Amino acid sequence: MKHDSIENVAAERLHLAAAYRLIAHFGLDDSIFTHISGRAPKEEAEHGFLINPFGLRFDEVTASNLVTVDLDGNIIRDDYGKGINAAGFTIHSAVHAARPEVGCVLHTHTVAGVAVSSMKEGILPLNQWSLQFYNRMATHDYEGIALNLEERERLVADLGNAKAMILRNHGLLTCGGTVGEAFALMYNLERTCKAQLALLSSGAELNRVPNDLAEFTAQQYESMTKDRGNPDKKDPEWEAYLRLALKHYPDLTQ
């Protein structure tokens, strides 16, 4: 994608800033809390990641004010000067350290996501949106606000190789090889939660998809999206979302 105002912006910063704006655009943010982290440009930190500066709303995040932090919590670059949220570091550093193939980690506290995270059964196989997560959702039990660095070991053990996780009584988490993959997973996971709550609140009899068909559909999703997390492959859906972000929020490139 070519655009005069983004030619000199590192792709990692541009895409992550766009994800922040899109999460706000779709109403999935939570004041100045929750986070999206992405792999830092190599010239900034060999094994570091980018995350939002503490105190900014998601609709205020730009490519330049993202903070670069290493896996030990050392601030490498902070143009905004306010540091980062400690709970955000706990969760995101855990995943980036344990899963070097992950290019982005996205965490939300939405009403729908928190509600489903508080249900014993979690995601139910009720519709096509939900089936991409069938038997592919990790879960992590609630341990309070994520300030204890010792929780990182348990969190990544629960995550395993999954790309989506329910943080029980807390919210949702997705990760992907690219920002686009993590964002698409979260957008679909959020819709899954909303649809489930709408159906449960209607009082209608549930029509669960049979297990064999649910697994078949999950495999179809995997086949269709197998290249989505590869940064060397085009992702038409993410490119469409990136155009939306640049159209409505051109200042994100600043």
pLDDT digits (tens, 9 = 90+) for 34-45: 999 999 999 999
Total domains in the fold of the chain? 1
In a domain, 194, yes or no: yes
pLDDT in tens, 158-215: 999 999 999 999 999 999 999 999 999 999 999 999 999 999 999 999 999 999 999 9
> Looking at residue 147, what is its pLDDT?
87
In a domain, 161, yes or no: yes
The DSSP bridge pattern shows strands 49-51 and 67-69 to be antiparallel
In a domain, 248, yes or no: no
> Looking at residue 180, what is its pLDDT?
98
* Residue bearing the bigger pLDDT, 117 or 47: 117
Rg (CA), the chain: 18
In a domain, 94, yes or no: yes
> Looking at residue 172, what is its pLDDT?
98
Is residue 5 very low, low, confident or very high in pLDDT (cuts 50, 70, 90)? low
Tell me the β-bridge partners of 139: 166
In a domain, 245, yes or no: no
Determine whether 202 is exposed, middle or buried from the number of CB atoms within 10 Å of its CB (0-12, 13-18, 19+).
exposed
Instruction: Say yes or no to pLDDT of 3 above 60.
Output: no
Residue that is written with structure tokens 């896996």 in the block:
71
DSSP 216: H
Instruction: Say yes or no to pLDDT of 2 above 50.
Output: no
Is residue 87 very low, low, confident or very high in pLDDT (cuts 50, 70, 90)? confident
Region of residue 201 (phi > 0: left; psi between -120 and 50: alpha; otherwise: beta):
alpha
Angle between the N-to-C axes of helices 236-248 and 11-25, in degrees from 0 to 180, rounded to the nearest 10 = 70
Mean pLDDT of 216-225: 97
Q: Which two tokens stand for residue 119?
A: 């249900």
Q: How many CA atoms, within 13 angstroms, populate the side-chain half-sphere of residue 124?
A: 15
Q: Which amino acid, 176?
A: G
State the residue range of the domain holding 192: 4-240
Instruction: Say yes or no to pLDDT of 4 above 70.
Output: no
In a domain, 251, yes or no: no
Average pLDDT score over the chain? 95
Angle between the N-to-C axes of helices 11-25 and 179-202, in degrees from 0 to 180, rounded to the nearest 10 = 10
In a domain, 252, yes or no: no
Tell me the β-bridge partners of 176: 104
In a domain, 204, yes or no: yes
Contact 78, 45 (CB under 8 A): no
Determine whether 43 is exposed, middle or buried from the number of CB atoms within 10 Å of its CB (0-12, 13-18, 19+).
exposed
Positive or negative: CA dihedral 208, 211, 213, 218: positive
Pick the closest to residue 79 from 8, 13, 12, 11 (CA basis). 13
DSSP string, 12-51: HHHHHHHHHHHHHHTT--BTTB--EEEEPPTTT-SS-EEE
Instruction: Say yes or no to pLDDT of 50 above 90.
Output: yes
Residue that is written with structure tokens 């341990």 in the block:
143
Instruction: Say yes or no to pLDDT of 78 above 70.
Output: yes
Angle between the N-to-C axes of helices 179-202 and 236-248, in degrees from 0 to 180, rounded to the nearest 10 = 90
- Domain harbouring 34, CATH code: 3.40.225.10
> Looking at residue 1, what is its pLDDT?
41
DSSP-derived 3-state class of residue 161: coil
Instruction: Say yes or no to pLDDT of 7 above 80.
Output: no
Mean pLDDT of 112-130: 97
Is residue 155 very low, low, confident or very high in pLDDT (cuts 50, 70, 90)? very high
